[in-house]
Amino acid sequence: MNAQHEVGRRRTFAIISHPDAGKTTLTEKLLLYGGVIQLAGAVKAKRGRSSAVSDWMEMERERGISITTSVLQFPYRGLQLNLLDTPGHADFSEDTYRTLHAVDGAIMLLDSAKGVEAQTRKLFRVCKHRAIPIFTFVNKLDRPGRDPFDLIGEVESVLGIGVYPITWPVFRDGTFAGVYHRLAGRVYLFEALDPDAGKGVGAERPPVEVTGLEDPALAEALGERGYARLKQETELLELAGDGFDKERFLAGELSPMFFGSAVNNFGLEPFLESFCELMPPPGPRATDQGPVSPSQEEFSGFVFKIQANMDKAHRDRIAFVRLCSGRMVRGMKVRHVRSGRDLRLANPTQFLAGERSLVEESFAGDVVGVNDPGLFEIGDTLTGGSTFEFQGIPSFAPEHFARLEMVDPLKRKQFARGLEQLAQEGTVQLYRPPEGRAGDLVLGALGRLQFEVVKFRLEAEYGVQVRLGGAPWQLARWVSREDGAPVDLDRLHDAVEGMVVLDVRGRVVVLFDREWALQTANRLHPEYRFAETATGV
Ligand code: GDP
């Protein structure tokens, strides 16, 4: 098989959104349009899920949908789409951020009534940092929502990115009736809304009628008012902006915007068409020895997620590897660069809605699960023998904190081993006081559920009972000195109003109990840098 051709058809992306915006629905529709219909129900099963911890544990036992949908790989219009899941709600965690390091682009999904919401903003920040192309799909147009111009303004001002609406909603008697495709100069009209839509998956695609903007039939279809509104709004759009600049899109500076209703299949067709046309295949990735091109013959990839207990019976750990160059073949020997060890990829695995299947070969852009012999850490590089390493995946400052105490002091060993493993997987951040200083172990996470996960897993897998206690901390910042000199812990301790701790990699962190304490530290001590993210060792 021609590797060049295979890489050229890969499109590896994620959907970023706030819970309830319609990510599950859009994912289902992608599968549906991709002809993977039988899988759509599998994604849907997630719907009934609440954010309760008990549900998570149940899921953990069953190893349910959150894992099996972590990567959906399916063909669409001659392309191979790799859709990586970004868990939200209570299972929002650093994994969600890390996943965004493994994609080449993202779809930002907004609820038209709600606009840019908190979780979208957080996820967007990571995409922006990576400067990857971002599509915006405004969903739920079938319901009363915000003015489309308003939404554009909000995305531009809140997220600091340009917006170019490629489709524009049209209304008939105030009801969402279709979209105007500005680049193609076409109008897609939909059938009347189906009041039962949303109950089923809707296997049939709605008929699409295509005419020009000046077509009298359009004026007839939209009614006088609807037509006048469309004419007026499209003129405003033409006045407001430059044309669609693909270079700016690829650089993550300009987001093409689309409107529609995922549950009704409205506006999806033109969106998917543009998505397939504009979304880039895998590109070069930075390493410590210069960029690596996906067309390079030697295999390379990096670990962006580690999942324990994929198979309860075997207590295994699977590392999810994003391939960046070359070809991975089952049974091949690869180099784990950080340790310098070679290992054989006996059972590379792909996951497809409930199914785990061995893969014989995969290409740059793909995500493959490989058995972790207890060696891998987030960000690790695998190669065919070279010693370069991909840029590390940053750690993100947690937003929730808890004290961790062991109940039975005799289990110290298991406790230490369990914590080390969980920290390696990147389940939570773990902070300890520097040597010689008293203090509690502190856990930090992006979502509170992670604490319960740690407690549950320490008990279930290591037989260690722990107590979680409240902690006053609200912010964590990694500390370095502006002059590059090592940080003197005692001096730092005296300088800041916060707790000085070390993370699992020995990096210096200060925990603050309020924003003000951080601001003060920043103001009084410009010799220190207080960073929200940390990369590498
Ligand atoms: P997620 O939390 O982002 O995965 O959101 P879901 O896909 O589960 O959707 C949340 C709710 O919004 C569900 O009840 C969906 O049926 C509904 N929904 C999704 N798309 C649309 C839409 O286009 N219009 C309307 N009215 N509801 C929608």
Q: For residue 177, report the distance from its CA to the centre of ligand 1, in Å.
A: 19
pLDDT band at residue 86 under the 50/70/90 scheme: confident
In whole angstroms, what is the distance from residue 201 CA to residue 264 CA?
9
Q: Which atom of ligand 1 is nearest to the CA of 89?
A: 2
Indicate the pTM of the whole model.
0.87
Question: Do 13 and 83 touch, CB atoms closer than 8 A?
Answer: yes
pLDDT band with cut points at 50, 70 and 90 for residue 317? confident
Q: Within 10 A of 390 (CB to CB), how many other CB atoms are there?
A: 24
Distance CA 447, CA 418 (A): 20
86 CB near ligand 1 (under 6 Å):
no
User: For the chain, what percent of residues have pLDDT higher than 90?
Assistant: 53
Is residue 402 pLDDT above 90, yes or no?
Answer: yes
- Contact call for residues 163 and 255 (beta carbons, < 8 A): yes
Write the CB contacts of 38 (distance below 8 Å, at least 6 apart in sequence). none
Nearest ligand 1 atom, CA 27: 7
Helix (H/G/I), strand (E/B), else coil: 395: strand
Burial 404-420 (b: 16+ CB within 10 A, else e): bebeeeebeebbeebbe
Closest CA to 226 of 171, 146, 186, 144: 171
pLDDT tens column, 416-444: 888 888 887 777 899 999 988 888 899 99
Q: What angle do CA 310, 344, 384 make, to 5 degrees?
A: 115
Query: How far, in Å, CA of 337 to CA of 145, rounded?
Result: 51
Close Cβ partners of 443 (under 8 Å, ≥ 6 residues apart): 401, 402, 403, 404, 428, 429, 430, 431, 450, 451, 454, 468
> Ligand 1: does its nearest atom lie under 6 Å from the Cβ of 25?
yes
pLDDT digits (tens, 9 = 90+) for 500-528: 999 988 999 999 999 999 999 999 999 99
Q: H or E element: which one contains 420?
A: helix 412-425
CA distance 345 to 369: 10
The C-alpha torsion from 242 through 244 and 247 to 251, rounded to 10°, is 90
* 369 Cα: distance to centroid of ligand 1 (angstroms): 30
Query: What ipTM does this complex have?
Result: 0.99
Rounded distance from Cα 27 to ligand 1 centre (Å) = 11
Q: Is 59 left (phi over 0), alpha (psi -120 to 50) or beta?
A: alpha
Q: What is the pLDDT of residues 92-147, one digit of tens each?
A: 778 888 999 999 999 999 999 999 999 999 999 999 999 999 999 999 999 999 99
State the chain's mean pLDDT as an integer.
Answer: 85
Q: Please state, in angstroms and rounded to a whole number, the distance separating the CA atoms of residues 39 and 477.
A: 42
DSSP 218: H
